[in-house]
Amino acid sequence: MLRPKTPEEVQEAVLAHPRLRVRGGGSKPALSGPEEGEALLDLSELKGVVEYDPEELVLVARAGTRVAEVEALLKAHGQHLPFHPPLSAPGATLGGTVAAGLSGPLAQRFGGVRDFLLGVRFVDGQGRLLKGGGKVVKNAAGFPFHRLMVGALGAFGVLVELAFKVFPAPPATRTLRVAFPSLEEALSALERLLLAPLDLMALDLLPPNALEVRIGGFPEALGPRLEKLKRLLGRDGEVLEEDEAHWEGVRNLAFLEGPLLLKVPSRLDLIPLLEGLPLGRRRYLLGGNVLYAEGDGEALKALRARGLAHLVLKGAEDPLFPRPQNPFFQKVKAALDPLGRFPLR
């Protein structure tokens, strides 16, 4: 196993091996487990925060830095990563989060990992250390290679450094949990919330029939905002005053223990169909836009039979369905990784 400590050592490792697989720390084992013939490049030593000035609201760190470490630093300054990286506690790294393209429940408020990544440095398949984007919040210069890296599972190169936009964390939060008589009624309430002028931090559907809504902001405003929510839902529900631990559990996907751990892009109108599939414990985040679920071989078969895209975080051989195949992907891939050193070759 290779364990580079510097970007230069990553370059050497890339040039020395015809096939590589990067592991941040392995919180998504289906993605970071090497296949036959692949050298494992462990980035856990390529770590550390490179730049952070709280007033600038920008953080730059090495790819192998643990999300948990970065979040502790931000928290000390009243800030956070609003896309809420999943699997923070089990050890997710910044690089692995971007490469897997994962966002947690709070992405409902301001957007996902793609919306907060400002720039990257990466080593491409030719061993070149390249930059995409920058360290400022606005930047339209050159091709945006950083956005290409989101969800690419390392297909275009090894991320070595990442720059994120960060935001002030809300000073106070509350969560409202409401159960409905049926899935249909829960869905129609969800729809109402999505069209209302509300600033929801999280909006999750817990099948079969409950919603969890999190709001955050100035403590003085939370009471009236909560009342407004209840009026809109026509129900009282249950209020969680201390909700931090609850949402930590959600974003660490602690509620999922099955042999397979799946991310399934979803839509409101797809939910009834998804609910008919043989999936285990599950939760829809981002107002129904994504489903995290546990499952087994049956679940995988069912999703594939219906042509439903998904990513397996734990448990399967072939994690990404469908594999990107269009000529646009292939040509970009061929330019940055002409020898097919990296995954999705």
Partner 1 sequence: MEILRELKALFGPRLLTKEAELAPYESDALTAYRERPLAVVLPERKEEVVEAVRICRRHGVPFVARGSGTSLSGGSLPVRGGVVIALNRLNRILKLDPKARLAVVEPGVVNLEVSRRAAPFGLYYAPDPSSQPVSTIGGNVAFNSGGAHCLRYGMTANHVLGLEVVTPEGEVVRLGGEGLEGVGPDLHGFFVGTEGLLGIALEITLRLLPRPEAYHTLLAAYPSLEAAGEAVARVLRSGLLPGAIEIMDRLAIEAAEAAVRAGYPKAEALLIVELEGEREEVAEGARRLAEVIAESGAEEVRIARDEAERQAIWKGRKAAFSAVGRLSPDYIVQDGVVPRTRLAEALREIGRLSEAYGLRVANVFHAGDGNLHPLVLYDGKRPGELERAEALAGEILRLCLRLGGSITGEHGVGMEKRAYLAEMFSPLEIAAMEEVKAGLDPLGLANRGKVFPPKEEAHA
Q: What are phi and psi of 110, to 5 degrees?
A: -125, 0
Using CB under 8 A as the binding rule, whether residue 290 contacts partner 1 is answered as: yes
329 near partner 1 (CB under 8 A) = yes
Residue 96 touches which member of partner 1, ligand FAD, none, C-beta under 5-8 Å by kind: ligand FAD
Q: Distance between CA atoms of 92 and 86, rounded to whole angstroms?
A: 7
Q: Is 1 in the site for partner 1 (CB under 8 A)?
A: no
197 binds partner 1 (CB under 8 A): yes
Residue 135 interacting with partner 1 (CB under 8 A): yes
Return the SS3 of 203: strand
Which CB sits closer to partner 1, 43 or 320? 320
Please pick, from the candidates 49, 50, 68, 198, the single residue that binds partner 1 as defined by CB under 8 A. 198
């439903």: which residue's tokens?
308
d(CA 74, CA 187): 35
Residue 23 touches ligand FAD, criterion: CB under 6 A = yes
From partner 1, ligand FAD, none, interface partner of 22 (C-beta below 5 to 8 A by class): ligand FAD
Decide: is 140 part of the binding site for partner 1 (CB under 8 A). Answer: yes
34-40, long-range: CB within 8 Å, 24+ apart, which pairs? Answer: 39/1, 39/2, 39/13, 40/1, 40/2
Q: Give the residues across from 219 on adjacent strands.
A: none
Cα separation, 237 vs 181, in Å, equals 13
Q: Using alpha carbons, list the distances in angstroms from residue 84 to 8, 70, 88, 113, 191.
A: 30, 12, 9, 8, 23
Q: Which of residues 26-65 bind ligand FAD (CB under 6 A)?
A: 26-28, 31-32, 43, 63
307 near partner 1, judged by CB under 8 A: no
Interface map 87-126 toward ligand FAD (x if CB under 6 A): x--xxxx-xx--xx--------------------------
Pairing status of strand 39-42 against strand 20-23: parallel
- Note the residues at the interface with ligand FAD (CB under 6 A): 21-28, 31-32, 43, 63, 87, 90-93, 95-96, 99-100, 153-154, 158-159
